[in-house]
Chains A and B, each alone.
Chain A
Amino acid sequence: MGTMLVFLLSGTLLAATPLLLAAMGELIVERSGILNLSIEGMMALGAVVGFATIMATGSHWLALGAGGLAGVALSVLFAGVVLLALGNQVATGIAVGILGLGLSGLIGKPYEGMTVAPMKRMPIPVLSEIPIIGPGLFNHSLLVYLAPLLAVGLWWMLRSTRVGLVIRAVGESPESAHAIGYSVLMTRFLAIMTGGFMAGLAGAFIATVSATLWSDGMIAGRGWIVVALVVFATWRVDRLVIGAYLFGLATIAELLVQGAGIRVPSQLLTSIPYIATIVAISILSMDGRKMRLNAPASLGRTYNSTA
């Protein structure tokens, strides 16, 4: 029972971390008014570039960084088309996502099915000594602890800093933001690049920290879950954190339940996050005022920043 609880906690953290990382990036992007549907492709590219880096250097940190940069590279393309060429965000997102998936398959060819050593864990002194909770929550690699801390930082940044204010203003109404003198173009470009970095980082995390292997298609739809999470959270950081860990918990709990010999319709369980997201969007959109408080009003709308 004890080891099962430990795994329930540690497995949840490990499964949720990449989702949370990528979703935080996407949240920033969407808060600035841009819908980026290419997360799956950015994660895949980040995963393969991260894996290639670790094969060449043996360093997990370099791998994570390189994965993030790969996401940035793809996001620059996305930003260029959406912001400068005023392309439709939905179509551009899908196109860039496909490109990322294709490139990841090409780059990853020589690494198919290879494995790397896991990242060193950093047990937190004292806390990791607590029974069950210690090994469950406080014996992980650094990034697992960093993710929720980053979330706190993001929450504070969006809420209380000038940068956060600008991002929100731009997402709310680029016209007004422009009129006050904020650079819509610059803000959105940087937001998209940040989102790209986080998605690439998340992909590299899956390939080099949690799975420690590369295989074409290994992101397996997690990029779409990320998009769902941001909406589920109605663009709020606190709910995003809860959503990511709940989702991680659900995937792990399903496996434990199966292992215990209890019959479960696994397809229904897999669908739950999506159903929950639809319900969440519906309930929260129903009350127009409530929705307006959170949803970036200009989300998905093309804005001409040269005018």
Chain B
Amino acid sequence: MPMKRRLTSWIAAACLALPLTGTAAKAEDPFMVGFIYPTPVADVGWAKQLDLGREAIEEAYGDRVTTRVVENIPEGPDAGRVMNQLVADGADFVMLGSFGYMNDGLRLAQRSPDVDFIHASGFRQAENFGTFTARGYEGFYLTGLAAGMVTESNTIGIVAAFAIPEVIAEVNAVTLAARKENPDVNIRIVWVNTWFDPAREQEAARALISQGADVIFSLHQDTPSVVNVAQSEGVYVVNTGSDMSAHGPDAVLGSVVTDWTDYFVEAVGASLEGTFTGHDERGGLASGMVSVAAWNDVLTEEQMARINEVEAALISGEAHVFAGPLNDQRGTERVAEGEVLPDPEIFGMDWLVEGLTGSLPQ
């Protein structure tokens, strides 16, 4: 054992003796914030919204922080190395921008108690490892109302990425809202089973349009692929993440925008002060983490008033998207009259509400 340790320390010493321009002395440097995105930063999309949060951090703390971005890191065995490198380079705060970074991130957090982490859409926390999720379903409830108002064919189509709870909750919210506004509405859904294949997403949107959909929901497509189709086919579209109305000025009925700036600034602030504790941050309409941008002019003043009224009720807590009575597709009661679905069940949703045509992919 001593022998082995001596060998190890010898190797370590030898390595340190190398001219290391790569390692950084931690002491006097500004507070370093590292961001890891699963996709490249484009002018719209998931990574873009996260990056706006990073810019807000720079703006809020000026010279006290430096930020560094690593983009296009696929979930998989290599992600761990990249986040480790950030920490080795002296990062004091790391934002992990994809669910799939969870296990590597948690392990790194255990090893690096001085570094604080926040992790997108995860469900495991630690003292220095927090998670954050947007209540996107609240925004989709509002746009679902609008869809129910404007549809003439009474058919709404949904192009959905993967059947994870976040997306399922959004699909359900759209259905509940649209049918509340217009009980005759028929909802069709196509799971493309990819986060990323723009051509296939567009084919899915066209398939739904050909089946009569005149409002399309683009759930978690990172590019304006579906928005583009809606614009050229003359139907309405609701998209996720960024305001994509520039890509579909007539088509975008509303964009459900996620805004991480307040939360990121607050989390980094806490980390700077040394008061960071890993918790599960969930923000919706009330906190401004979710909002609907670019409402289409086709919505009349009365209709907007109605939407605003529901929005106010959701914000005040008077109303809830998943309020009972609520049945699933098989007709089984999931939420009783007078109750609301508790958070853990919303973020673990694996059933579709009554009235949806379509199923969860196997």
Chain B nearest CB from A40 CB (Å) reads: 14
Q: Mark B138-162, 1 if CB is under 8 A from A, else 0.
A: 0000000000000000000100000
Decide if A118 is an interface residue (CB 8 Å cutoff): yes
- Show 20 A/B contacts (Cβ-Cβ < 8 Å), sorted by A: A3-B212, A7-B206, A15-B203, A105-B72, A112-B41, A113-B44, A115-B247, A210-B199, A211-B202, A213-B198, A213-B223, A213-B228, A215-B196, A215-B222, A217-B196, A218-B198, A255-B207, A258-B204, A258-B358, A266-B193
Decide if A95 is an interface residue (CB 8 Å cutoff): no
Interface residues of A in 83-135 (CB under 8 A from B): 105, 109, 112-115, 118
Docked Cα-Cα span, A113 to B208, in Å, equals 23
B188 touches A260 (CB 8 A): yes
Decide if B42 is an interface residue (CB 8 Å cutoff): yes
Decide if A11 is an interface residue (CB 8 Å cutoff): yes
Docked Cα-Cα span, A215 to B212, in Å, equals 29
The contact of B42 among A212, A215, A220, A267, by CB within 8 Å, is A215
Set of chain B residues within 8 Å of A261, measured between Cβ atoms: 188-189, 357-359
Interface residues of B in 217-233 (CB under 8 A from A): 222-225, 228, 232
Chain A nearest CB from B205 CB (Å) reads: 9
Set of chain A residues within 8 Å of B325, measured between Cβ atoms: none
B203 touches A216 (CB 8 A): no
Chain B nearest CB from A171 CB (Å) reads: 32
List the 8 shortest-distance A-B pairs measured between CB atoms, nearest first: A113-B42, A7-B210, A261-B357, A255-B207, A112-B42, A220-B197, A258-B190, A211-B199
A259 touches B190 (CB 8 A): yes
Docked Cα-Cα span, A4 to B72, in Å, equals 37
Decide if B26 is an interface residue (CB 8 Å cutoff): no
Set of chain B residues within 8 Å of A3, measured between Cβ atoms: 209-212
Set of chain B residues within 8 Å of A255, measured between Cβ atoms: 190, 203-204, 207
Decide if A162 is an interface residue (CB 8 Å cutoff): no
- Nearest residue (CB) in B for A215 is B223
The contact of B188 among A8, A109, A220, A259, by CB within 8 Å, is A259
B224 touches A4 (CB 8 A): no
Docked Cα-Cα span, A109 to B203, in Å, equals 25
A259 touches B225 (CB 8 A): no
A259 touches B189 (CB 8 A): yes
A252 touches B42 (CB 8 A): no
Residues in A lying within 8 Å of B, measured CB to CB: 3-4, 6-8, 11, 14-15, 105, 109, 112-115, 118, 206, 210-213, 215-218, 220, 251-252, 255-256, 258-261, 263, 265-267
Decide if B62 is an interface residue (CB 8 Å cutoff): no
A259 touches B208 (CB 8 A): yes
Set of chain A residues within 8 Å of B198, measured between Cβ atoms: 211, 213, 215, 218
Decide if B362 is an interface residue (CB 8 Å cutoff): yes
Query: Given A255-B204, A256-B211, A263–B359 Cβ distance below 8 Å?
Result: yes
Set of chain B residues within 8 Å of A251, measured between Cβ atoms: 200, 203
Docked Cα-Cα span, A38 to B356, in Å, equals 43
Query: Given A112-B42, A218-B197, A259–B203 Cβ distance below 8 Å?
Result: no
A260 touches B357 (CB 8 A): yes
Chain A nearest CB from B235 CB (Å) reads: 12
Decide if B123 is an interface residue (CB 8 Å cutoff): no
Set of chain A residues within 8 Å of B262, measured between Cβ atoms: none
Q: Mark B44-59, 1 if CB is under 8 A from A, else 0.
A: 1100100000000000
The contact of B223 among A8, A113, A118, by CB within 8 Å, is A113
B225 touches A211 (CB 8 A): yes
Docked Cα-Cα span, A211 to B226, in Å, equals 9
A115 touches B42 (CB 8 A): no
Docked Cα-Cα span, A112 to B40, in Å, equals 7
Set of chain B residues within 8 Å of A210, measured between Cβ atoms: 199, 202
- Nearest residue (CB) in A for B74 is A217
Interface residues of B in 97-154 (CB under 8 A from A): none
